[in-house]
Amino acid sequence: MKLRQQADLSTLNTFGVPARAGFLFEVEREEDLLELPGFRPERDLVLGQGSNILLLDDVRGTVLLNRIRGIERLDQSDDQVLVEVGAGENWHALVEHAVARGWHGLENLALIPGLAGAAPVQNIGAYGVELAEVLESVTAWDWQEARWVVFQAPDCRLGYRDSIFKQQPRDRWFITSIRLRLCTRFTPRLEYTGLKEELGCVSPTAEEVFAAVVALRRRKLPDPAQAGNAGSFFKNPVLDAAAASTLLNSHPDLPHWPQADGGTKFSAAAMIQACGLKGHQAGAAAVSNQHALVLVNRGGATGRDLWHLAQLVRERVAGRFGIELEPEPRIFANSQEST
Ligand code: FAD
Ligand code: NAP
């Protein structure tokens, strides 16, 4: 376990906003957690790679950096393999590792930044696939009861960019490993708009799907190394039948997709664009020119600059469409103002 005092967090969040922590612990082994004095949700914070968080303030207490590594095949049957992954493994490296070994199901989730331990927190998803489809269980340390707990997938309450770990009390568990049930036979998932076109064929290999997703993402999404960002800043609103019909009566051209539960998902990017906000800049904080759902730090923006811009976007969208956009990343502040 490594400890630093008065740590700089600006390189530990992909927005690249300035912030400091009183202490920083790198948790490399599960046992490290037992040596810590405890976790105070009002002062402390767990971070993976910081790619889904906006820091509005310094962290007064301790940042626990999850760095627990390891990928182990636990069991293999005819067409399935059960894999345990340390929460500190890089997600994209895990996807590459799985594709290389013929363990399938993660190809569409290539190039999502962050660590494996954060993947269940918002049930990461892309190109028509969510973690929920392959997650078997999550092992975590329960700060409140000082014991290890295993959540089977249904206990995680995974939803659209949501889980029990994102709900209140949000910081109760430190995830130390996840188990994934992957397939040894490959079935391509190509229903998502643009994927078939990128591939140019209807029965691709797993390597080809992986490469197509990587290529699409590199082309379409702003790179945090060039302009700090946390990916999509707003979730796509999902409305029930009555609300969806009202919205479509007044805005029939809004892109929307029916959901399995009967709701309808609307494109938040289209709403932001319709408000004329794509590329809108306020100081060093901006709505990306490349992608209306992404807020970017053009250099020198603070967390609060970006948050003010997010409020402007929410007000304009609410004014025009009557929809309250919900931020997707965690908004970290010392008071309860926004989190
Ligand atoms: P962090 O940002 O460090 O943490 C996120 C939250 O999880 C925080 O609340 C933190 O406290 C908590 N947390 C982290 N680790 C643990 C742990 N071990 N135990 C308990 N709590 C923990 N997301 C998608 O779903 N799909 C995408 O396609 C996608 N694309 C992205 C593209 C870009 C360019 C960027 C910058 C982000 C994108 N994201 C996407 C968002 C982000 O990559 C994911 O949410 C990712 O899982 C966050 O991982 P992280 O390790 O960086 O988490
Ligand atoms: P895109 O293909 O330009 O689509 C824009 C939005 O439309 C996405 O948010 C997506 O919703 C929705 N959409 C498009 N086709 C859909 C379909 N067939 N069915 C249902 N919804 C559809 O998206 P993009 O921004 O380039 O991203 C590609 C994929 O990577 C998306 O799945 C996106 O979620 C994911 N991604 C996520 C983040 C993040 O931070 N969460 C960042 C970058 C990319 P969904 O978001 O629900 O898929």
Alpha-carbon span 109 to 130, nearest angstrom: 8
Non-local CB neighbours of 27 within 8 Å, separated by 6+ positions: 1, 33, 64, 65, 66, 67, 68, 88, 174
Structure tokens at 145: 């009861």
Determine the pLDDT at residue 317.
Answer: 98
Query: Residue 313: how many CA atoms within 13 Å on its side-chain side?
Result: 32
Largest Cα span, the chain: 58
Structure tokens at 212: 């197509």
Q: Is the CB of 192 under 6 A from ligand 2?
A: yes
324 is catalytic: no
323 C-alpha vs ligand 2 centroid, how far in Å?
19
137 is catalytic: no
Residue 207, Cα to own-chain centre: how many angstroms? 23
The pick from 122, 190, 236 for probing ligand 2's pocket by mutation, whose C-beta has the most ligand atoms within 8 angstroms, reads 236
State the pTM of this model: 0.96
End-to-end C-alpha distance for the chain, whole angstroms: 29
Determine the pLDDT at residue 337.
Answer: 57
Structure tokens at 22: 């009183």
User: Which of the following is catalytic: 232, 288, 316, 330?
Assistant: 232
Question: Is-contact 207 99, C-beta < 8 A?
Answer: yes
Per residue of the chain (339 residues), give pLDDT as tens.
677 888 999 999 999 999 999 999 999 999 999 988 888 888 999 999 999 999 999 999 999 999 999 999 999 988 999 999 999 999 999 999 999 999 999 999 999 999 999 999 999 999 999 999 999 999 999 999 999 999 999 999 999 999 999 997 889 999 999 999 999 999 999 999 889 999 988 899 999 999 999 999 999 999 999 999 999 999 999 999 999 999 999 999 999 999 988 999 999 999 999 999 999 999 999 999 999 999 999 999 999 999 999 999 999 999 999 999 999 999 999 976 554
Determine the pLDDT at residue 339.
Answer: 44
Q: 324's torsion region: left (phi>0), alpha (psi -120 to 50) or beta?
A: beta
Please list every protein residue whose CB sits less than 6 Å from any atom of ligand 1.
Answer: 14, 45-53, 66, 87, 112-115, 117-119, 121-122, 124-126, 161, 165, 173-175, 221, 224, 229-231, 330
Could you identify the residue written with the tokens 């490959």? 186
User: Which of the following is catalytic: 51, 67, 107, 161?
Assistant: 161
Range 67-79 burial, b when 16+ CB lie within 10 A, else e: bbeebeeeeeeee
Range 116-131 burial, b when 16+ CB lie within 10 A, else e: bbbbbbbbbbbbebbb
